[in-house]
Amino acid sequence: MKLKTTRNNLLKYINTPFDGQDYETVAHLIAGNQLIAAANFIDRLDTIVRDTMKIVIMNTCPKISLEMFGTTSFYGDDEDGTWSEFAEEGLTEGGQ
């Protein structure tokens, strides 16, 4: 796993006003191989910061993303082509 690369990519956001310390905390938890603690910390954050961290981690190393969040896709569809149950129902009940 690319622990140090992921840490370095997260540390690029360290100068973000108000949230820089959050990026630093998660970066060092990941570098210390404390992935579950990092995932729990990320889940408690505000939406924009949380989403940015998840995207950085998923783009840097899918293995870390799979270990932390159980997915390698930000939107949760994991490349199966299904958007949601509602989309499937709409297609099957439609004019076909």
pLDDT tens digits for 63-79?
Answer: 999 899 888 887 655 55
Q: Provide the pLDDT for residue 63.
A: 92
The residues of the chain scoring below 50 in pLDDT are: 81-84, 96
Q: Provide the pLDDT for residue 42.
A: 94
Is the four-CA dihedral 48, 49, 53, 56 of positive or negative sign? Answer: positive
